[in-house]
Chains A and B, each alone.
Chain A
Amino acid sequence: MTLKSILNGWQGLLYILFFTFSLQLGAKERHSDPDGCFSCHALPGLEFVDKDGILRVASIIKEHYYSSLHGSIPCKDCHRKITDYPHKVENGYVDCSSSCHLNEPSNGERFSHKPIVEEFEKSVHGEAWTKDFAGGNRLEEESKILDPSCRRCHVNTLYIPEEQNELFMESFAHTDTECGTCHEGDVWRNQFGGHILRRLIGTRWKKNESNQYCIDCHADHSKMEKVEVEDFETKEKSKVDFRWVRAVDSYQRSLHSRLLVTGVEEGASCMDCHSPSDQSSFRHLILADEDPKSSTHPDTLNKTCGQSSCHEFSKNNLNTGFVNTDQHDLDLVRYTQGMSFFDFDRLESYWQRSLYIIIPLLVGFFLGGIYWVVFQRKNKTQAPIIGNDHFERVIIGRKKRKTKPRAKPVKKVQAKEPDEIPPDTEASDDK
């Protein structure tokens, strides 16, 4: 029987119908482990200690993965070259800019983090890794690379954070009624409902939580002291200064930070100033202050500060002076262990400069005072050079007064002891 004869006969029709229906049925089920990776990786206890003494865990929590941000993506979309076992480390490398088999719901195109990676690469952190990620090279990255890679801040968290789950379920139950008023049909709601609701129930990270990612590195002074920054104009690299190293310390003493710590979300996070929310950016474009495109460049500060409802007035040119308030004021940085008064790096602080002037003067007065008490106090009466006696002698013409020698101290008469009081006096008192 040839293919032609099959397709021409009634059997052909049956074959076509069978394959059409079976393919449709197959397409309905979405399976994010088509390569069977979880046959091994879901087993608990797949562990070994590598040559660096690091306990490596290859057991991935399957339930967590399926509920995670990447839960719909087959492993091989990211770990593309893995075909053999034992896996070669380099075959598992992940490139965050690659596209995956998931379609972006609004335009139906292949989803990719590429635009974010491209933006990130233009930022001050742009030398960080955005690809070649594998569990096995974390030590290499941690010990050699200062710039934060994608995985320094991002892990595969749950699609709906646990604390928002209840709210999400409650909202999702209403999609038929609320969303369904306009968006009729299950297709739309299945495709977009969860996606949109996830955003409506609140941000994934509170500002304090997003700050923590910055603080994890920037509060590590010894790590930050190793950082070299590129001059915006000359492109020359140089070591960062004291102010830069202590940026977290000064921020944490500011009102912006204190508000967030006390649970007031109106405070400003690191990202709010250094990578503000803007439709044209993915919040990964942190630039040097000197860069005119930077959100913290003096010329753009009024726009940056004006983004919040707190400082909208700064958009008015008359108020731009306000936004020049130093948000990383070294005056706020406390002296802590390892910091010395003689640390000239702090000279940028007005308080510090004042102290360098005031303290030597105070020391001078103090020593002078001691000198006077010890050596000068026994001398004759101190006569002023001008005024007083000088005035009387020169202006009025009075004769110079003879300085009288100091009167000898009068010998104190010792008080009589109570037993020396005459008895009759005591008796008279009794009366």
Chain B
Amino acid sequence: MQAGAVPLFSQYIEASQPSTKDIESSRQLLEKNQPKKLREPLSLKPFHQRQKEPILDSKAFCTRCHLSVPHSRILRSRAFLNMHTQYIACETCHFRPEGISFNYRWFNFDSQNAETNIAGRLHVDTDKDDTTQLVARTANVKISPFYQGQPVLMTYQDAKAKEIKEQWKSANEQEKTKLHAVIHGPLQTKGPRCDVCHTPKKSLLNFTLLGATDKQLSKLQYNTIADFFKHYQPEGAEQPEASQTESKEQRIRITDLLR
């Protein structure tokens, strides 16, 4: 990032003017969703050996409040979306202002700059000989939006991020509600559908530029799981908590993966 450059997301927050409806919506969200705390791992271990747990110490601005596995509402997609958070920055899906076209590249949260070493970064194949899957997991490098060559997102070290942190600390409930609305004003609650990226036609992400091999490109564009998700009806924007919807959740036979 150029010295003194202000990230676009930061500029949008600065200019954010939430409506009364937005503030009311923020109030309800803050009331309903108390900050989640991770419980200590249970003494009763899972039967099957699982992959290691994720790195929870992220340098993203969003994870100052949200967990690094933030998706929990929609039963069918929450685990898949959280999987994507390992290598895709929040702003890639949730900050897509109208009329602006971004480029998507690897962003290094440590150096706060575009990552030049992109070979083997993509996390696609699950074959055991494919060591690339480990790269994205252990490095603090994610696919992020860039505008006019500059990173769009904010890290928690950004001046605006620090200012917001201080404001939040000293704010009362009413001020917090407004601040919440200001921060979330430029964002979309719902991210794009799977086939916005996982498609051979005009994908949001240019996988080749992101370092995909031919094999990986094919797997990403013709993705079985993304195809399976096409069978679902669109998710409601206002989906209630997962615990309340378990019985109402649309369920599809897994054999439809083969259709």
Contacts and interface: CB of A to CB of B under 8 A. Distances in A.
Contacts of B41: 55
A62 B79 contact: no
A391 interface: no
B251 A88 contact: yes
Given A49-B36, A53-B39, A138-B42, A84 B53 contact: no
B215 interface: no
A36 B42 contact: no
B126 A43 contact: yes
A63 interface: yes
Contacts, number: 137
Given A39-B257, A44-B83, A46-B82, A156 B48 contact: yes
B126 A83 contact: no
Contacts of B85: 45
B69 interface: yes
A361 interface: no
A40 interface: yes
Nearest to B255: A83
Given A39-B225, A85-B254, A86-B251, A45 B83 contact: yes
A44 B137 contact: yes
B213 to A, nearest CB: 18
Contact of B47 (A46, A85, A151): A151
Interface in B245-259: 246, 249, 251-255, 257
A371 interface: no
Nearest to B43: A142
Contacts of B39: 52-55
Contact of B82 (A45, A61, A63, A89): A45
Given A44-B126, A47-B79, A55 B50 contact: no
Top 5 A-B pairs ranked by shortest CB distance? A84-B251, A45-B83, A59-B51, A53-B39, A46-B79
Interface residues of A, number: 50
B38 A53 contact: yes
Contacts of B228: 85
A170 interface: no
Interface in B212-244: 224-225, 228, 241-243
Given A48-B69, A57-B53, A86 B80 contact: no
Interface stretch (B70-78, B98-106, B139-147): B70-78
A256 interface: no
Nearest to A149: B44
Interface in A18-57: 35-36, 38-40, 42-57
B133 interface: yes
Nearest to A54: B39
Interface residues of B, number: 49
Interface of B: 36-39, 41-51, 53-54, 67, 69, 71-72, 75-76, 78-80, 82-83, 85-86, 123, 126, 128, 133, 137, 224-225, 228, 241-243, 246, 249, 251-255, 257
Given A49-B36, A52-B39, A142-B44, A39 B50 contact: no
B251 A85 contact: yes
Contacts of A60: 48-51
Contacts of B75: 86
Nearest to A60: B48
B82 A40 contact: no
A58 to B, nearest CB: 5
B83 A46 contact: yes
A293 interface: no
B126 A57 contact: no
5 contacts: A35-B254, A45-B54, A53-B38, A61-B51, A151-B44
Interface string A60-82: 11111100100000000000001
Nearest to A89: B246
Contacts of A56: 79
Given A45-B137, A48-B79, A53-B39, A85 B49 contact: no
B38 A61 contact: no
Nearest to B229: A85
Given A47-B82, A85-B252, 18 more contacts: A45-B86, A47-B79, A48-B72, A51-B72, A53-B37, A55-B53, A57-B53, A58-B79, A61-B49, A61-B50, A64-B49, A68-B48, A86-B76, A135-B46, A139-B42, A141-B44, A142-B42, A216-B43
A82 B252 CA distance: 11
A386 B105 CA distance: 110
A49 B69 contact: yes
A315 interface: no
